[in-house]
Structure 1
Amino acid sequence: MTVQEFDALLCDLDGVLRLWDAEEMRAIDRATGLPDGSLAAAAFHPPLLDAAVTGRITDEQWRERVAAGLAGAHGSRDAARDAVRQWSVLTGRVDAEVVALLRWVRRTVPVVLVSNATTRLEADLAALGLDRAFDAVVNTSRIGFAKPDPRVLHAAAGRVGADPARCLFVDDTAGHVEAARAAGLRAHHYRTADGLRAALGHPPG
């Protein structure tokens, strides 16, 4: 495939453009006296996370509920609040190689960020210097449904006036990629920047 073979690129954020170090959350557990893995388990508990990324609760409410869950499970309200405070400072790191690839793609076709995200996404993009890196942004907490729901990708394609069947979707979650293909989009399961470069037909080097 080459960039000339599609009319828009729809790209995930976390795990593709923004990378997280799981050790940082475990370090917060240790620093606040919580059992290893407690913060991640509370934050990414599926029903709570789904409420946050579909906009049923705000980012602030999500973090408040994470603190409450930690306190209820482990009995220390102060430790729970401290853990969430430290976690909330983290913004991850940007993969400059992927950013450069997307910049190259934008010379030919528009790039839409498509993220299962909370209401903090826009602030995070500004903090990471990514607020001008896309032609459009689809934040699932703003539209009320999240990947793998195909409506997310149809909304993303619509933001730049593209036919979904003429879009390439890039995501690191296999289930999201499979759902995109089932919905008629072309899709690339992201694993490495080199793999994405090859999928885009970017010249070597």
Structure 2
Amino acid sequence: MIDWREIDTVLLDMDGTLLDLHFDSHFWLEHLPRRYRELHQLDEASQEALRARIIGEQGTLNWYSLAYWSRELGVDIVALKREIQHLIGLRSDALDFLKWLKLAHPRVVLATNADRASLALKLPLTGLESYLDAIVSSEDVGAAKEEQAFWFALQEIEPFDPARTLFIDDNARVLESAREFGIKYLLGIKQPDSQRPEKELQEFIALDRFAHLLPEQLPEQQSETQGVPK
């Protein structure tokens, strides 16, 4: 699928690509609305209203900002996330893929919309940082990956040749933005959330296992990290 002789840089998304999106889906759509209602002693209708409000910010920096939601909702988002942090975990063979990349020596950069507060929570629990050469958050550059400004800023921080770069992300809008910038090798994720159905990415090839990218396939058994509470 990929000729690794053509790749100098690998850009990786975090949530839904390296990490199972189940934690985030459950937090934003179930746990936060329920705890928000409990903490503010509101009726059940407030949960649906909050879900709609959250979805309304999709694709913006606000959508990804824990500080924004803490301020807007009057709750400690990080503390509420810690209540269910056992759901944070790696996707399938993500760790095996990262280990292979470390041996193969392309430059590996985490390009994420997660803000620094999210990274501070998730990185220590998953061990991702030891496999990455750099981490760039949309919060760092003031633009979400859905915007061209993110890619120009990323290239200033971490110079890369778009024609020799592989980018993997579960978000079709982000992949479209990366394509517009000129990144040549683009791949999606077939099932970002292990508890939800697979999704179609009509314009991009979607991976179910990272093993399919490698010159020598990884073992078919699940990685030992799968399903381990984080």
TM-score by length of 2: 0.66
Shift in Å at residue 147 of structure 1?
0.9
Cα pair distance change 1:17/1:41, threshold 3 Å: farther
Distance (whole Å) between structure 2 residues aligned to residue 173 and residue 48 of structure 1: 10
- Residue 82 of structure 1 and its aligned partner are, at CA, apart by 8.4
From the superposition, tell whether residues 28 and 176 of structure 1 become closer, same or farther in structure 2 (CA, over 3 Å).
closer
Q: What displacement does 1:153 show?
A: 3.4
Gap change, CA 1:61 and 1:114, over 3 Å in 2: same
**Equivalent position amino acid for 2:71 in 1:** E
Q: Which runs of 5+ in 1 are unaligned?
A: 69-80
Match of 1:141 in 2: 139
Give 1:184-195 correspondences, 5 Å limit: 184-185=182-183, 186-191=185-190, 194-195=208-209
- Return the offset for 1:13: 0.8
2:109–2:132: 8 Å Cα contact kept in structure 1? yes
- Per the alignment, do residues 187 and 201 of structure 1 end up closer, same or farther by CA in structure 2, a change over 3 Å counting? farther
- RMSD between aligned residues: 3.2
1:62 aligns with 2:69: yes
1:1-28 alpha-carbon deviations (Å, 9 max, x no partner): 1322210100111111122333454255
Structure 2 equivalent of residue 94 of structure 1: 90
Aligned to 2:217: 203
Counterpart position of 1:45 = 56
Contact 2:57 2:63 in 1 (8 A): no
CA deviation string 1:125-167 (max 9, x = no partner): 2233223231100101011111122343344455554312210
Amino acid at match of 2:146: P
CA–CA separation in structure 1 for the residues paired with 2:68 and 2:126: 23
Indicate how the Cα distance of structure 1 residues 157 and 14 shifts in structure 2: closer, same or farther if over 3 A, else same.
Answer: same
8 Å CA contact 2:33, 2:48 repeated in 1: yes
Q: 2:168 corresponds to which residue?
A: 170
Unaligned residue ranges in structure 2 (runs of 5+)? 192-206, 220-230
| CA gap 1:200/1:183 in 2 versus in 1, 3 angstroms | farther
Find the aligned partners of 2:152 and 2:76 in 1 and give their Cα distance: 40
Query: For 2:180 and 2:160, how far apart are their aligned partners in 1?
Result: 18
Tell me which residue corresponds to 1:78: none
TM-score by length of 1: 0.73
Q: Percent identity?
A: 24
Q: Distance in 1 between matches of 2:59 and 2:168?
A: 25
Contact 2:70 2:76 (8 Å CA) reproduced? no
Residues 147 and 104 (structure 1), Cα distance of their counterparts in 2 relative to 1, 3 Å cut: same
| 8 Å contact kept, 1:52–1:117 | no
SS at match of 1:175: helix
Alpha-carbon deviations, 1:13-63, whole Å to 9, x = none? 11111223334542554563634545543444317952364xxxx633432
Q: Aligned pair in 2 of structure 1 residues 128, 41: CA closer, same or farther (>3 Å)?
A: farther
